[in-house]
Structures are given as structure tokens and as C-alpha cells.
């Protein structure tokens, strides 16, 4: 399975491509940053991001596009630009019939390191290690895009069936699956307690 990860951004939009093979063996394919000129109008910047992402999808023909889920930040302009860039990625994928997955930064950290609060440098080092790279991809947007692709490849749900799934999970994947199970159970218990 070829997975194209996207770290959305208006000025720099990270793109990372990996292949997830048998037993979730990961292979590095490509990493880059799609850029837009901050001195041109917003519509033309979005067009530049869209064209860059569309070209990557045409070149690598991914089975899935994994995009970082946009979350609230203090800087309203930053989050708006990020959300718009994510929309361009979703549009480019939808036009080509490519399924889209959204993962939060916490999910990516958990799947890669086993710690949803891992510092950025730890995630970057693990990305390089998992893909057999001699150095951390630069800039950070590029490493984040690879992290998104890896996160989707290592997600515990749906990749393998039954007992086979448990046998092939790494420690980080088991911890992520356990955390997700406990969170779901906790939500269900709170709903029962409230008479829902």
C-alpha cells in the first residue's frame, strides 16, 4: 500500500510518501515540501498548493492520502490557512478517487513513539529510524508529512484481522490500541452513568 502523508500549510505544505508492505514493513519513497509565495493573493496561494499536491498524487498514485487533522491554535490566520491547505489536499484526493484519512498530531506521536506527548525531535528521530534514513528529513513539515503517512500505516484498527492483528502489533501500536480502547470504554461508562 502506498500512502501519501500531508502536513498542511499555506506557505509550506509537507508531502511524504511511504510504502507499507507485508507485516507493516515500511519503505521510504519520497519527501518534499509544496510551497506558495506569501506575497501573492490567497486564492493563488491555494491554487499553488493544490497544483503541487495534485502533481504528487499523479506521480505516486497513492492508495490513501493521510492528512494531519487541523486543530485550534492561538493564531487564527495560521489555523485558517492550514485548514484551507488541508481542504486542497482533500479535494485533490477526492477528484482522483483516493480515500482520505485524518489523524491528529497526538495520534501520529502515539503510533510512532508510543507516547502521545512525545517531543517533536523524538518523533522526527523515530521517523528516520523507521524508514531507514540516515538523517532527519528537513524542514520539519517534511518530517511531519512522513509521520502522517507512517501513522496511517501503523494504525491498529483495520490493517489486520483477528488474532493476526495482535501478533503483528509493535509495542507502540499495542499501547495506542489500548489507549483508544480505554478512552472508548470511559466514554461509554460516562454515558451509562448519565442515563444515556
Domains of the chain: 2-155 (3.30.420.10)
Is 182's pLDDT higher than 70? no
- Written as nine digits, the cell of 52 is 503541487
37 is catalytic: no
From 7, 107, 124, 144, the catalytic residue: 7
Spatial distance between the Cα atoms of 53 and 86, rounded to a whole number of angstroms: 10
From 37, 68, 74, 193, the catalytic residue: 68
141 is catalytic: yes
Spatial distance between the Cα atoms of 4 and 16, rounded to a whole number of angstroms: 6
Whether the model pTM is above 0.75: yes
Q: Which residues are annotated as a binding site?
A: 7, 68, 141
Tens of pLDDT, residues 133-147: 999 999 999 999 999
Average pLDDT for 60-81:
85
Average pLDDT for 164-168:
40
> What mean pLDDT is reported for the chain?
85
43 is catalytic: no
Amino acid at each position: 500500500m502506498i500512502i501519501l502523508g500531508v502536513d498542511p500549510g499555506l506557505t509550506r505544505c509537507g508531502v511524504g510518501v511511504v510504502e507499507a508492505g507485508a507485516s507493516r514493513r515500511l519503505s521510504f519513497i519520497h519527501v518534499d515540501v509544496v510551497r506558495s509565495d506569501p506575497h501573492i493573493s490567497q486564492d493563488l496561494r491555494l491554487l499553488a498548493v493544490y497544483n503541487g499536491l495534485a502533481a504528487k498524487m499523479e506521480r505516486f498514485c497513492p492508495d490513501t492520502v493521510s492528512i494531519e487533522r487541523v486543530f485550534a491554535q492561538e493564531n487564527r490566520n495560521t489555523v485558517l490557512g492550514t485548514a484551507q491547505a488541508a481542504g486542497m489536499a482533500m479535494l485533490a484526493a477526492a477528484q482522483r478517487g483516493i480515500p482520505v484519512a485524518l489523524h491528529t498530531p497526538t495520534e501520529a506521536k502515539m503510533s510512532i513513539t508510543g507516547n502521545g506527548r512525545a517531543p517533536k525531535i523524538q518523533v522526527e528521530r523515530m521517523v528516520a529510524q523507521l524508514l531507514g534514513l540516515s538523517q532527519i528529513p528537513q524542514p520539519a513539515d517534511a518530517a511531519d508529512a512522513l509521520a502522517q503517512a507512517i501513522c496511517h500505516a501503523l494504525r491498529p484498527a483495520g490493517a489486520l484481522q483477528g488474532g493476526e492483528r495482535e501478533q503483528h502489533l509493535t509495542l507502540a501500536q499495542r499501547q495506542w490500541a489500548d489507549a483508544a480502547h480505554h478512552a472508548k470504554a470511559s466514554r461509554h461508562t460516562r454515558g451509562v452513568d448519565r442515563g444515556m
